[in-house]
Structure 1
Amino acid sequence: MELMVRSSFSDPGSFFGLMSMCAAHRAVLASQRSGNWDSVLTDDPDYCMMRAKSIQEMSAKVRDPSRRLSNEAFDTIINLLTGSLIIGEFSEVHTHLTGLKSMVDLRGGITDESIRSSSMLSAIITTDIKAASGLMTKPVFPLTWDAQPIPSEIQQRIRPLASSPLNRLGTGFSANTFLSPSLLKIISVLRDMVFFSITYQTNPTAIKPGDQDFFRILNCEAEHQLLSYIYAEGSPNPEPNLHPTEAVTRVASICYLNHFLIVSPSSSGLGRALTKHLKTALGSCKLSLLVGLPNQNFGLYVWALFVGAQGALGQPERQWFVERLARVAMVCGWQSWEQISKLMAEFFFVAALDSLNWRSIWDEAMTGFVISESEEVEFSSLLGTGVLSLT
């Protein structure tokens, strides 16, 4: 990023691309204050002007054989792509990503030394992953390095003592028989990432130089794997028979990465897209499917609802997650926050860090919830089948 900023001082395309990113952030903040999501973003004059100038400069580079594959051309298109992600123009994200793929191929591919030895590789991979998360598609580029296990020395510093209740963290995933070994393997990595986050916030003296860079790369690997593991080798199409519980867990984990382990504002284009993807996955997982199954299935579903509700803070979709949470609580007979927090501790929930926000979501779900006549019939049917209760 530092080198891309330096490039903006000498190259007009890089400069206007960087300014379009800044204007996109400004437009998102303006929409957050006004609550007017769509029109403020698409009509923001500063973003529209900087974007137009950046596209103009990029077009000039493409027409010039000596500049079309220059580092400055890559900086410009990556900035354009990032600005589109921030603002939420995903048709443009797809267009810019297609252009970036062509440029990388013409340069010799993502593993070519001219790319690997430059500052561009990290920017290309990261931007591709974030675009794939926003579009909920397979990343265009493969990772160019082999995944590294977490060194035992780091594990010893970040993992809780054997007697700590934090050891329950993530056990609800591993106990769920509907989750594939591939997903559970990624979730085990996420578990250590959560432990690192806990250590960083509660015991920062245990963190050593280099730890953050290691986990930044690990974050990138995990998100790439979550996006791509459902695609067979060489296939552009995802696994057609993904269990709804697995689909919910996969999307919720991607949302968790972007909302909890790194900062992706809920009002950004990426944040809003992730909210909609999670809402779709949860909506496709019918409550009737979960009836009669072990607690972990309803617990996992509720965890995803909490992730969605917190990630949708300030968004119109937040109410959907809150109301859904109230429905599940009614079906399961859950009445107290203590019941819920105990169950959530088996997933990615840390009471000392998350209770304030998640308790407010729970309280919101428990107050003023009114069901329709058709929903009452549905709930009566579900309750009559002997749905689990949590004590």
Structure 2
Amino acid sequence: MRNAQEKVPAESANNSNLTSSNAPEATKYTFVDQTGDLFALTHRRISNRQQRHVIRSHVMQRVRHLELAQGNKRTPGRDTPRRSSSDKSQKGSNVSDSPIKDEPVTPTIPGVVRIQPKQNSTALLPLDSVRTSATGRSRPGISLSPSPSSNHEFDPFHTLPSSNVPHQSSESLLGYCFDIMLPLTFAVEYKRPSERLARQAMVLHSKMNSPATFLGFMATVAAHRAILYGRHEDLSPSPQNHDELITDPDYKKVKHEAIVAVRRSIDRQEPPSQYMVDACFGLISTAAVVGNFEEATIHLRGIADIMSRVGASPESMLWLPITNVKISVAMLSKPILQLPWQREPIPADIQQRIAPEPDSEMARMGLKFQQLEELSDSLQALLLTGRDICNLCQINAENSRGLSPWENAILRQKATEFEFDLVAYPYESPAFPRERNGEPLIPPLERVVRLAALGLMQFAPHTILPATGVGRALTQHQKRATEAWLYAKQGQCEVTELRAITWSLFVFVQRATKQPEAEYFMNLLDLISANLLPLTWPEVEKMLNGFLYIPMLHAAVWQGIWLEVTVRSRAMNRSPLNIDRRGEMQQHLQHQL
């Protein structure tokens, strides 16, 4: 099987002066089955006319995109010599078999921040609706859409092991995977075309040899697509099987075929292999996306022994630690699997590159936590390490080319380590007493700050949609922690603690975008901010810089949140029934439960 990657003749590549911002960034793959043509494999010459036509069309499609980016337009077909009837019939059959995408063209993505070049930083907005900036200009939410080449087929000869999944459904899911899911989830790495290309190649090459592996991954893609397009009910934690809450027919079909493929492998009593690990991982990630965490933990424990004997593929070693940590975040339990690498400090040269200017506001990041004496030493130390992750994300957002592959790998590992430690440290520290079931008893303020730091890691470097099972579970934990803090404080707390809660609520509001808890967090932020008004946004941002804050990713979103808070406060102050704000605030805080 040969992988025909889009290429451009050397002459056109050398003569073009396109910058990276003008050239099309989406790279496509077309699979051509040559397993039955030994001559073509040995002599590297394709004798099948239809295969040559598909590859030629694939390459010319890229050429046309580059020409359009240069402002050149090809002569219409009626002005060129007439093609032969055989070519026309081939083209007609190829078009008729192309998948028809029925997804919305520009889906909105709630609670998501796309990492953009510096000149586009004003587009980083909350995606629940069109917000208005402080200057009065409306700012649209971020949207993703499939690439312009919607008639491209990844598998025109049906060579991928899609089993009984219809070809149109398989093509649609592959297109969604490469155009939306991977760029959205790995937004930091997808700023570099080489990184995108490497991840796409890894995904396809590692899946094409095993039906169970391919279908398990497609089930994850189908679940992600169903949630993004709203084809589901509320996925907050419940005893119900969340597969029943997904209304997308493609998801139900692909998930069924994935389970059947794994069972066939088990029934054939195949020896443990990396393919079995990858197949089970597909089921794990699918269960995590929809919120079936008990199912996910069962599969995680099942493959832990297999991995100790046969290892895992390079792709699973990228995805599995992240999924393991996300499941632990959703369940707020000790991670099942340990991290599969030795921890190392960030190299000194990278530390020097990402360090903010000494006189800048970002140089103060994390220092406000040191004023909170109620926080444990373990959490204080962890929050200081979180500054490196924020600095890496800030540098990536400021630079149009993003981070280097080595820096991306460091960011990915450090972010995973940070989340892992935030979930695990209460179980390892003797500072917390234990309940009867062995769970640590964490003080109210520490619970809120810890969950805010975990919520911050759902924005970057890996984006988790608020409506997914992981997103809904984390929002529920955040609401319960906030309620416990309100009950413990009874509306009375120090100014430093109030500022930390305000920072936490900014995180919670964004994480709950378009979720039922969003209004609860917004009302609470409005009440607590009574002691901060009438601060302007620059003054609020200066306060937030003392915690964990990434200006390029959070500024526009949180400014919109603060604007809404000030509008609500002014409306309340103008009300004829308005009473003293401080007394009103304490009454509301005491009755929030």
Q: Normalised by the size of structure 1, how large is the TM-score?
A: 0.84
The aligned residue for residue 322 of structure 1 is: 522
State the alpha-carbon separation in 1 of the partners of residues 444 and 309 from structure 2: 42
Note if 1:211 corresponds to 2:407: yes
Per the TM alignment, residue 41 of structure 1 is displaced from its structure 2 partner at its CA by 4.6
One of 362, 368, 375 as aligned partner of 1:166: 362
CA deviations over 1:185-222 (Å, ceiling 9, x no partner): 21111101111111111246795441111111111111
The aligned residue for residue 125 of structure 1 is: 321
Structure 2 counterpart of 1:180, one-letter code: S
Q: 1:206 to 1:274 in 2, by over 3 A?
A: closer
Note the 1:8-27 alignment, pairs <5 A. 8-27=207-226
State the alpha-carbon separation in 1 of the partners of residues 223 and 383 from structure 2: 32
Per the TM alignment, residue 337 of structure 1 is displaced from its structure 2 partner at its CA by 3.2
Q: Percent identity?
A: 24
The aligned residue for residue 49 of structure 1 is: 253
Alpha carbons 1:28, 1:41 under 8 Å: kept: no
Alpha carbons 2:216, 2:258 under 8 Å: kept: yes
The aligned residue for residue 157 of structure 2 is: none
Coordinate RMSD, CA, aligned:
3.1
Q: 1:18 to 1:376 in 2, by over 3 A?
A: farther
Q: 1:82 to 1:199 in 2, by over 3 A?
A: same
The aligned residue for residue 439 of structure 2 is: 238
Alpha carbons 1:115, 1:121 under 8 Å: kept: no
Q: 1:165 to 1:244 in 2, by over 3 A?
A: same
State the alpha-carbon separation in 2 of the partners of residues 115 and 148 from structure 1: 22
CA deviations over 1:73-129 (Å, ceiling 9, x no partner): 21121111111222x232xx3223213312322x3xx5x363168654443322211
State the alpha-carbon separation in 1 of the partners of residues 318 and 419 from structure 2: 14
CA deviations over 1:49-95 (Å, ceiling 9, x no partner): 1111111222222333324x222221121111111222x232xx322
Note if 1:79 corresponds to 2:279: no
Q: 1:102 to 1:163 in 2, by over 3 A?
A: same
Structure 2 counterpart of 1:187, one-letter code: L
| Structure 1: unaligned runs, 5 residues or longer | 385-391
Note if 1:184 corresponds to 2:380: yes
Per the TM alignment, residue 223 of structure 1 is displaced from its structure 2 partner at its CA by 0.9
Alpha carbons 1:20, 1:50 under 8 Å: kept: yes
State the alpha-carbon separation in 2 of the partners of residues 150 and 247 from structure 1: 28
Per the TM alignment, residue 333 of structure 1 is displaced from its structure 2 partner at its CA by 5.0
SS of match in other structure, 1:137:
coil
Q: 1:12 to 1:203 in 2, by over 3 A?
A: closer
One of 425, 448, 464 as aligned partner of 1:264: 464
Alpha carbons 1:77, 1:96 under 8 Å: kept: no
SS of match in other structure, 1:162:
coil
SS of match in other structure, 1:367:
helix
Alpha carbons 1:334, 1:340 under 8 Å: kept: no
Alpha carbons 1:129, 1:139 under 8 Å: kept: yes
SS of match in other structure, 1:229:
helix
CA deviations over 1:225-282 (Å, ceiling 9, x no partner): 1111110389983322x11111111111111011244222223222222222212211
Alpha carbons 2:274, 2:312 under 8 Å: kept: no
Note if 1:282 corresponds to 2:482: yes
SS of match in other structure, 2:426:
coil
Note if 1:89 corresponds to 2:89: no
The aligned residue for residue 255 of structure 1 is: 455
Q: 1:94 to 1:345 in 2, by over 3 A?
A: same
Q: 1:160 to 1:233 in 2, by over 3 A?
A: closer
One of 352, 361, 366 as aligned partner of 2:561: 361
The aligned residue for residue 100 of structure 1 is: 300
Q: 1:378 to 1:55 in 2, by over 3 A?
A: farther
The aligned residue for residue 389 of structure 1 is: none
State the alpha-carbon separation in 1 of the partners of residues 505 and 252 from structure 2: 35
SS of match in other structure, 2:427:
coil
Alignment length (residue pairs): 369
Higher helix share: 1
Q: 1:342 to 1:5 in 2, by over 3 A?
A: same
State the alpha-carbon separation in 1 of the partners of residues 298 and 361 from structure 2: 47
Note if 1:29 corresponds to 2:228: yes
State the alpha-carbon separation in 1 of the partners of residues 551 and 296 from structure 2: 41
Alpha carbons 1:18, 1:79 under 8 Å: kept: yes
